[in-house]
Structure 1
């Protein structure tokens, strides 16, 4: 399905880190949708001066990381804004020397990728913790050239393009002695991804024909899959929570599932020479070739697939039977844009940052704790505001882990 020419163009799509939402960046703002228990539109935000070319959401909070797409000097592509949707204002702005090509946000860190550099920003301190020079493959989507994972609160792992071709640099930022240069068996790559338990790195070859799995202790190639018979593009890939299945989304409207051999005790890869076995292939209907999309397994190991043309799927994959047992579909281009607000994207001055008691909440994505906290704040400055949000989100995450219920956040 083609986009309606009368509707704003979709510029980007992102699935939240907890897989409960997906977000669309558009020419006039952004929209947030729920992924569970069913696909549904939560709300839209429209900005009068800029569209959103890159977006990420901080877990299930009201905080978004945004990159504009305007020629207006306030919203150029080299600036990141942290947007507090509860109070509908920008609470932090960071400018970089060159245009931003990808970003990710966690409770403590903001990861920003440009053409020649990657930056790790410590949010509370508003400072760059670390920066690296990179040589990102020029013919792939920038967000596919790196991966970034936060284990607990103090263990930040990244994999980025090395300065030298055919190599990937892996390190734990919070433990600088943990560094590894992975020498690839191919001249470049299309896509890289950590497994959930951070014991290996998955790499798609430049041709899209092979999937290579490298151990993160030694950098050695342990398993190899033939995932296509002809040159293909792989847009996205994701692991199940137990790391036993990896799903790959191709440009020809195909999803492939591969079974990974792991040591049951250590969860590390078992070394297998020339493994060329696919588990399962699913052809998606009504998806034109080269339609961009992303995929992610959620905590129940359902696979979410979101396309830029409006098509959305949630597949239940049976690991024992090696087949899809249930499919839910949705098209966000057909959903009514309700709960919509239109306003100027204001970058407020420090002396203007005052909260009004009893102010109506305009978003349905924040937790009760953040709502309660809003009424307690009066004249706090930006730094204290952001620190409070970080602490509350950490508490919320602990509670969520203790009592997970499907479809509730």
Structure 2
């Protein structure tokens, strides 16, 4: 393995090549994909640098290729700015796997970095916070401050599961609890911690609304997705992805919280209608049936639910889109009405539209492959 650089001067030399320094024909391996906070663009961590693509219209907006030691395992953007959180990855990383660097690309320099005793499993950013996910700990920092504000112990978290709200004001954070299948909701406005026993199996994927009011979770079984209120832990809705086990890759709410998109290794992206609103929490609490210590409204009477298997009582998707099976994709809702964006580890970008009334198969509006040789910068 190549020596991992620590000095900012070395990083500056490697992280700021001119476009002419980049080889457009060099094969590209993708390590990580992530949308920014408003889904206007997405970041790609590769084996020799990183790229940022604008979503609408689709275009390459930033490209940084390194000559050596440039593997980027995690890359997170702060909005549409050129402030990034970077973690090394792959066989030839730009940084150690236990180090997070805050990089200002406008100045071509590191603002500061943070080192941890174990490997970084995930990262989340919002305007006032940097959230670092370790295997059994979440560390919350104020932006531009290396001193931790809060540390949260979790069960083993190899997937780096954690979500944070993005609306202005105090943060809502969702992460694994201390037991298998348990979720911890940290509400910083109320200074309140809520634990939810969401699944019997291990947690596999999280999703959180922009305002932090509702939370979606899937287990390692991958058949059901459950939607909860973060305020009181009420189970608001249960939707079914399918009957067979699957690995859930991505859960994403629309900005209004009206829709939920789900991607899996089965080669499908599903869109579900979310049946919650500002007054739903208390009304659902009063009319729902208790299940495992939480409320479970579904629109089906308690009598029917007691007779029919759970397979029939959970709700199915409104619309779906088919992809190559086995490939990892992440999803996000677009700014155009009833559209979603799908980005794959194979370099694929899809924009699709779904019919909220008639449902069915989504319409593909756009497709690009961003790992093909491209000399455009």
The TM-score by the shorter chain falls in which range? 0.7 to 0.9
Matched residue, 1:277 = 315
1:230-245 superposed matches below 5 A: 230-245=244-259
The one-character-per-residue Cα deviations of 1:349-390 (angstroms, maximum 9, x if unpaired) are: xxxxxxxxxxxxxxxxxxxxxxxxxxxxxxxxxxxxxxxxxx
1:126 CA displacement: 2.8
1:1-80 superposed matches below 5 A: 6-37=26-57, 39-47=58-66, 48-69=68-89, 75-80=95-100
Matched residue, 1:186 = 200
TM-score, length-scaled by structure 2? 0.80
1:147 and 2:156 aligned: no
Instruction: Check whether the contact 2:74–2:86 (CA below 8 A) recurs between aligned residues.
Output: yes
**Alpha carbons of structure 1 residues 337 and 105: separation in structure 2 relative to 1, 3 Å:** farther
> Where do 5+ consecutive residues of structure 2 fail to align?
1-23, 285-296, 306-312
RMSD: 2.4
- 188-197 or 116-125: bigger deviation: 188-197
**Alpha carbons of structure 1 residues 49 and 326: separation in structure 2 relative to 1, 3 Å:** closer
> Where do 5+ consecutive residues of structure 1 fail to align?
340-409
1:326 CA displacement: 5.0
1:147-166 superposed matches below 5 A: 147-152=163-168, 154-166=169-181
> Aligned partners of 2:171 and 2:196: how far apart in 1?
18
Instruction: Check whether the contact 1:63–1:84 (CA below 8 A) recurs between aligned residues.
Output: yes
1:237-276 superposed matches below 5 A: 237-263=251-277, 265-266=278-279, 268=281, 270=284, 271-272=297-298, 275-276=313-314
Instruction: Check whether the contact 1:15–1:21 (CA below 8 A) recurs between aligned residues.
Output: yes
Matched residue, 2:372 = 334
1:22 CA displacement: 1.2
**Alpha carbons of structure 1 residues 337 and 81: separation in structure 2 relative to 1, 3 Å:** farther
Matched residue, 2:327 = 291
1:206 CA displacement: 2.4
1:5 CA displacement: 10
Matched residue, 1:106 = 126
Matched residue, 1:136 = 156
How many residue pairs are counted as aligned between the two chains? 326
**Alpha carbons of structure 1 residues 196 and 125: separation in structure 2 relative to 1, 3 Å:** closer
TM-score, length-scaled by structure 1? 0.74
